[in-house]
Amino acid sequence: MPKKVDHQKRKIQIAETTWKVIVEEGIEQATVRKIAQASDFSVGAVRHYFASQSELLHFSMELVSERVMQRAKERKFSKEQNPLEFVTEGICEILPVDEERKIEMEVWLAFSAKVLVDKTLQELSNKVYQDIHQGLKNVVQALQLFEIAKKELDLGLEVNRLHAIVDGMAMHHLLNPEQFTREEMIATLNYHLKSILQ
Amino acid sequence: MPKKVDHQKRKIQIAETTWKVIVEEGIEQATVRKIAQASDFSVGAVRHYFASQSELLHFSMELVSERVMQRAKERKFSKEQNPLEFVTEGICEILPVDEERKIEMEVWLAFSAKVLVDKTLQELSNKVYQDIHQGLKNVVQALQLFEIAKKELDLGLEVNRLHAIVDGMAMHHLLNPEQFTREEMIATLNYHLKSILQ
DNA sequence: TTTAATTTAATACAGTTGTACTAAATTAAG
DNA sequence: CTTAATTTAGTACAACTGTATTAAATTAAA
């Protein structure tokens, strides 16, 4: 008998508006009132979908990781493709190579700074670290299976290194886009990947 | 005739208390009142040394970079020393290898997230990026001069890569200290440096 | 001791915050 | 059309915010 709204869709809609506010004004300006206004809801409506502000923020952070993971899962390798290219493109799913990915990374950075003092976000941060680490491990192993990458690599250290390069470059490009351009970022990734090839 | 207080020392003292508040409660809790209370001053006293909150925060961020730069400048190379060791230890001045450096990096991360939406912090962020980039460039060139590192390296890309590794690892260790330990961080640095040797 | 500039403390104010609460609006089913 | 649960809007409140103002305290020099 009542009006039926897709709760999940509404939550996602509000979370994406939260991203927008965070990107434009910073996470400390991501107040309930501002998010409500930006998403054309009343404060009461937002509160109807999220019991508290921290629940809203947690959901918004989770949505970032879900989007990245979703894209990663959708990727399929076709036999005709160059494996190195395939791997490079896969890593570019994480890097801020376009506006969409830039927004996700900016939001993620804002939340990451919060992780240090917010225990409830640590679990999510750790999970995402693990997931990406595993993904990159698969990348290196795949290159070895294809007999493209060197066999004598120390897998653990190699993955640590690649993971640090990816996140380090992402941060550098976000914070200093003129000094470390998108093109430099991609060139540096290619340079590194080539360095572990046979 | 008046009481004479060393202004600079007071400002540094208050800025270090600001670090403490940021590390313990996050940058959004770095309010004038809290910083005053934590540093055993009245709000009026703090305001006497900093005309506004943003001036205080800017000074506190600047102090982080000054500390790191100061340590870097103090380092002297003695002929008996192993150049690779010297370089490794130099890079560890930036990495969060001990409590002091951890605090500095945590504060820096908190400010970095603010850089994206605070134009007045961007200049400082860019300057520090440049300084560290130049420092790491000197490192790679020094290793080449000593005929330790490969000559055929692409200097620009190599420095980009090293810089990303350093900051990426710093972030990973801060956010996930159990999953990416201090020892792994140092081992990964050594592994990378070895990889560019002849 | 007197003097005067620096330093400190306390209070006030207007604005914002998260959250709670209530009543109204909406709308799908009977 | 009625009904009733969901959804929305608006308001209220106590706490906290940055900043301004004012008067008091401090203390080195005359």
Mind listing the domains of chain B with CATH numbers? 1-51 (1.10.10), 62-195 (1.10.357.10)
Q: Which pLDDT score is estimated for B1?
A: 61
If you average pLDDT over residues A130-141, what whole number do you get?
97
Report how far residue B128's alpha carbon sits from residue B125's, in angstroms, rounded to the nearest whole number: 5
Q: Which pLDDT score is estimated for A1?
A: 62
Contact B152, B145 (CB under 8 A): no
Q: Which pLDDT score is estimated for B79?
A: 85
For residue A22, what is the nearest residue in chain B, using CA coordinates? B117
Give the rounded distance of the alpha carbon of B62 from its chain centre: 10
Contact B62, B115 (CB under 8 A): no
Q: How many CA atoms lie within 13 A of A188 on its CB side?
A: 28
Q: Which pLDDT score is estimated for B78?
A: 87
If you average pLDDT over residues A93-97, what whole number do you get?
97
Name the band, by pLDDT with cuts 50, 70 and 90, for residue A5: confident
**Minimum distance, in Å, between the CA of residue A52 and any CA atom of chain B:** 18
Torsion of CA A160, A162, A164, A167, to 10 degrees: -140
For residue B122, what is the nearest residue in chain A, using CA coordinates? A175
Name the band, by pLDDT with cuts 50, 70 and 90, for residue A149: very high
Which residues of chain B are modeled with pLDDT < 50? none
Q: Which residues contact A134 (CB under 8 A, 6 or more apart)?
A: none
Mutant choice from B116, B120, B190 vs A, greatest count of A C-beta within 10 A: B116
Q: Which pLDDT score is estimated for B125?
A: 97
Mutant choice from A175, A180, A185 vs B, greatest count of B C-beta within 10 A: A175
- B160/A164 Cβ within 8 A: no
Cβ atoms < 10 Å from Cβ of B4:
6
Q: Which pLDDT score is estimated for A121?
A: 96
Looking at this protein, which amino acid is placed at residue B151? Answer: K
- B175/A112 Cβ within 8 A: yes
D strand bases under 7 Å from protein CB: 3-12, 16-23, 26-29
- Residue-averaged pLDDT of chain A: 96
Cβ of residue B130 closer than 8 Å to a chain A Cβ? yes
Q: Which pLDDT score is estimated for B157?
A: 98
Least Cα distance to B59 among B16, B116, B106 occurs for B16
C strand bases under 7 Å from protein CB: 3-12, 16-23, 25-29
Please check the confidence at residue A96 and state whether its pLDDT lies above 70: yes
